[in-house]
A = this chain, B = another copy of it.
Amino acid sequence: MRIAIDAMGGDRAPDKIIQGAVESLEFLQSDDEIIVVGPEDLLHEKLGSVLSTHSNIRIEPASQVIGMDESPVEAVRQKRNSSIVRMVKLAAAGGADAIISAGNTGALVAAGVLMLDALPGVERPGIAVPIPNGHSRVLLCDAGANVQPKPAHLHQYAILASVYSQTLYGVQSPRVGLLNIGTEDEKGTALIKETRLLLEKDSGLNFIGYVEGRDIFDDQCDVVITDGFTGNVVLKVIEGMGGSLLRTLKDQLAQLPAQTADELGPIIKKTFSLYDHEEYGGALLLGVSTLFLKVHGSAGKKAIRNAVHAAKQATRHNINARISAQLSERVA
């Protein structure tokens, strides 16, 4: 398989990203290929002799970089030669089977939604974000690709997210919840009620029924299905609340003796990192022909190696073929 890696994305780019890419060669097979995307001269210099000693790593030139804080849609439109846009374009042209980046999540998703083909049978790609909840993680889908979905779209997301939960996280029979404002039958919008009927009828899903916002943190389910509007709001509320609580707690701790505060720093940092989805894994674009792995912004070489490994595993499990087969069997 051919795995394109954005050398310029993330806080530790390019050095740690490139090191991760090179180390991945150790466990790849000779017919696998790593494609490192970024400024040609820089990558030549950083990769050095690796290019001559290994035939299965090459450079895809991209002269621009999209910063972590740039406005996503604008950046994608204007920086046509950025590593993100070049990487996604390469995949769109059939030149990569998987893409990996630690860069600007919004820009990656925007480029993916705009440029990549949908898998056969997929009506609309969806964004899935693994939300860490202290115990494990809940795959929230859709997190913003499709703000006014039809019930059939949400049904597809339930199937897609279940396959990803199995393949990437090893959850045997992912529990799927449909996000609603109560668990009683009469609760919710027409979209929710119609979607529930579709999910209930699909015996291939482990559908547990309606879940509420608080259940994301309750270990009630592995997959939470919602429209892209609600999903995106949920994601940003979680981000905002985590950041705000952490700041307030730090202010409070500043009143303690320095030694106590020092003792606590790591514990508090660790606790909050258990809830930081950006730290945990970023995002997946489900339903496109290319496996799309956004790794966390602070990814180093280990995270890149793990992502390459996950991409190989997903391919070994024929993730796209499984999705297509399940969609053609189970979707009207």
Contacts and interface: CB of A to CB of B under 8 A. Distances in A.
A270 B253 CA distance: 11
Contacts of A260: 260, 263-264
B188 A229 contact: yes
B237 A234 contact: yes
A101 interface: no
B267 A148 contact: no
A242 interface: yes
Contacts of A248: 134, 271, 274-275
Contacts of A267: 249, 252-253, 255-256
A217 B71 CA distance: 21
A161 to B, nearest CB: 18
Interface in A129-153: 133-134, 144, 147-148
> How many identical chains are in the complex?
2
Interface string A209-224: 0001111111000000
B240 A213 contact: yes
A198 to B, nearest CB: 19
A270 B155 CA distance: 42
Contacts of A233: 179, 181, 212-213, 226, 230, 233-234
Contacts of A235: 213
Given A213-B234, A235-B213, A229 B181 contact: yes
Interface string A243-278: 111011100110110001001100110111011000
Contact of A240 (B218, B255, B264): B218
A234 B234 CA distance: 6
A247 B134 contact: yes
Contacts of A256: 263-264, 267
A147 B229 contact: no
B189 A244 contact: no
Interface of A: 71, 73, 133-134, 144, 147-148, 179, 181, 184, 188-190, 212-218, 226, 228-230, 232-245, 247-249, 252-253, 255-256, 260, 263-264, 267-268, 270-272, 274-275
Given A217-B243, A248-B274, 14 more contacts: A134-B247, A134-B248, A213-B234, A214-B243, A216-B240, A218-B244, A230-B230, A238-B241, A241-B242, A244-B275, A245-B272, A245-B275, A248-B271, A256-B267
